[in-house]
Amino acid sequence: MNMPTQALGSWRRILGSLTLAVLLEQLPWSGWALALRPDFVLVGVLFWTLHQPARIGFGAAFFLGLLADFQDGAVFGQHAIAYVTGVYLVLFLRMRLLQFDPFRQAAQLFPILLTVQLAVLLIGWLAVNPPASLAMLLPVLSSTVLWCLIALFVRLWHGKGLQDRA
């Protein structure tokens, strides 16, 4: 299962996908789409941390977290701390995550994404004021679905059929 990680991910691909994720978040989302919008940048960072831990890690996560803080108008450091926590959890569970097929991987990612969002919630609560509602946990679900789709796509791309249970 380590095989595709070598073929995957030159710098160009990593930077390209992360830039795409940042740009996707700049679209003028509104209403329900905004409430359900997956955290593209977080999913991108965690994906590359899983597959290329030597290249994408704490530093990139922190910088992209600051960017996310800016675009939400949140206090600086809120998303940065949360993303760094997510990277740590992925590094901690890395060997295990790489064993799984996309669906199980997404199921394992769900608690990690939830922890990241709870960290955002907690820091915002401490630094600014109590959150308006718990609707902020909705993106966790959509991010998990997004992860599942990306993992399936990468798997098909590398010529492994859906039936193949690694």
Please report, as ranges, the residues that interact with another protein according to CB under 8 A: 22-23, 26-31, 34, 37, 57-59, 61-62, 65-67, 70-78, 80-81, 84-85, 87-88, 91-92, 121, 123-125, 127-133, 135-136
Q: How does DSSP assign the chain, residue by residue?
A: --HHHHHS--HHHHHHHHHHHHHHHHS---HHHHHH---HHHHHHHHHHHH-TTTSSHHHHHHHHHHHHHHHT--TTHHHHHHHHHHHHHHHTHHHHTTS-HHHHHHHHHHHHHHHHHHHHHHHHHHT---S-GGGGHHHHHHHHHHHHHHHHHHHHTT--TT---
Is the CB of 115 or the CB of 160 nearer to another protein?
Answer: 115
Is the CB of 94 or the CB of 158 nearer to another protein?
Answer: 94
What is the closest distance, in whole angstroms, from the C-beta atom of residue 2 to another protein in the complex?
Answer: 17
**Cα–Cα distance for residue pair 154/59, rounded to 1 Å:** 25
Is the CB of 122 or the CB of 154 nearer to another protein?
Answer: 122
What is the closest distance, in whole angstroms, from the C-beta atom of residue 101 to another protein in the complex?
Answer: 25
What is the closest distance, in whole angstroms, from the C-beta atom of residue 121 to another protein in the complex?
Answer: 7
What is the closest distance, in whole angstroms, from the C-beta atom of residue 9 to another protein in the complex?
Answer: 20
What is the closest distance, in whole angstroms, from the C-beta atom of residue 6 to another protein in the complex?
Answer: 17
Is the CB of 133 or the CB of 163 nearer to another protein?
Answer: 133
**Cα–Cα distance for residue pair 106/112, rounded to 1 Å:** 10
Is the CB of 35 or the CB of 145 nearer to another protein?
Answer: 35
